Structure 1
């Protein structure tokens, strides 16, 4: 299987070849996966992913993880 390198897809660049988490995953499904993987620390994991995306300059991915974090907060309060 061909190895995927991070420099092949530039999420922060405009134009052809732009790929974001919104195209690959659903925030609700990501929230459920985070709960299954991290349990009570799922919101912390989503926040960490959001901050990493933000500081990497990946605005779309940052928004995705903020949406996941918000979904996790709604599930916790509901």
Structure 2
């Protein structure tokens, strides 16, 4: 499951993290996100997956999000999109 095509990565990210993110973020931004989403979904545990994305969730702590919860949402969305 870690080799999701970019369009599936976008769908997973939108379902789990930000439904409003657009393709206009740019190719390099999406490639970086895709690498991390793929790493998250292939991590052995949700805790390990959360550690991968801790850095981009720091600013979200103000709204009550947590890297492990976000990782769990990403992993769950990936399962739905690849089932």
With the shorter chain as reference, the TM-score category is 0.3 to 0.5
Task: Tell which structure's C-alpha radius of gyration is larger.
Answer: 1
Alignment TM-score, normalising by the size of structure 2: 0.32
Q: Which has the higher contact order (CA 8 A, sep 6+)?
A: 2
Scaled by the length of structure 1, the TM-score of the pair is: 0.34
Name the structure with the higher helix share: 2
